[in-house]
Amino acid sequence: MKSPIFVANWKLNKSYTESIAWISQNQTDLTLLAQSATIVLCPSFPALAPLMQLSKGTGILVGAQNCAQNEQGNFTGEVSAQSLQEVGCSHAIIGHSERRRLFNETDEVIAKKAFLLLQNKITPILCVGESDPTTELKIIIAALEPQLSIFKSAPYKSHKNIVIAYEPVWAVGSQKRPSIEIIGQVVQWIRAYATTNFPHFVVAILYGGSVNQNFMSLIKNIEGLQGILAGGASLDFQIFKNIVSLK
Ligand code: PGA
């Protein structure tokens, strides 16, 4: 993989103390890993600031798992893109299938988040994927197209980098995975779509959904794939390290 990106999405699986322990116990190894790959750790909100402190000088980046769709105002419980920028986040995940499914997030809501992130110079990591297993590329494309189209009208003047994570919904947390051929075709299609529809953005394409060490060794040679988004496999440092080392 060329300039690979590895995103660790800890979801609600690590507490504040556990998040800090993960990075502080593995700082030397992480610093080495970050020399040849972009590592983005995405803990829950309270751990963002301490992780920023602990990652100083290591090359490790810190990202959020979500952000508010509004800039500011009376929106109890929300965290703004501006706050994420002030705390030092380089990335933020948006459109994760768990947020779409469990929190009813629509493409319209996700677009607002993407725009605010870009305006705050944070790289959005947009998750896109089809709901049910299929080997038919045209069904996958029909699901992905509206999800990706949010970038057609996105502001690009202040920040040009975006990440798109192809995450089949049915593969997330299920130990089920698409074939290498399908991932390869989808990556190529996303690349062509991005070049045609939002050429002013610099786009990195990742895969996510039940990645483990075995699967990493299979997908690492997929043409145009630039990294992975790992959920379960990022919780244990040794497993995450092994996956990054396979790049
Ligand atoms: P998983 O999660 O690796 O546990 O399937 C991936 C994700 O939620 O992005």
List, for residues 118-157, the tens digit of each pLDDT value: 999 999 999 999 999 999 999 999 999 999 999 999 999 9
Q: Which of 91, 96, 98, 159 is catalytic?
A: 96
pLDDT surpassing 90 at residue 242: yes
Active site annotation includes 105: no
pLDDT surpassing 80 at residue 209: yes
Output phi, psi for 168, to 5 deg: -55, 130
Is the Cβ atom of 230 under 6 angstroms away from ligand 1? yes
- pLDDT value at residue 1: 82
pTM exceeding the 0.85 threshold for the entire prediction: yes
- Mean pLDDT rounded to a whole number for the chain: 97
> Which residue CA neighbors atom 1 of ligand 1 most closely?
231
Closest residue by Cα to residue 165 from 1, 9, 2, 3: 9
Active site annotation includes 96: yes
pLDDT surpassing 80 at residue 2: no
- pLDDT value at residue 107: 98
- pLDDT value at residue 3: 83
**Hey, what are 126's tokens?**
């947009």
Distance 167 CA to ligand 1 centre (A): 8
Judged on CB neighbours under 10 Å (0-12, 13-18, 19+), 59 is: middle
Closest residue by Cα to residue 9 from 48, 64, 69, 56: 64
Mean predicted confidence (pLDDT) in 177-195:
98
* pLDDT single digits (tens) 28-82: 999 999 999 999 999 999 999 999 999 999 999 999 999 999 999 999 999 999 9
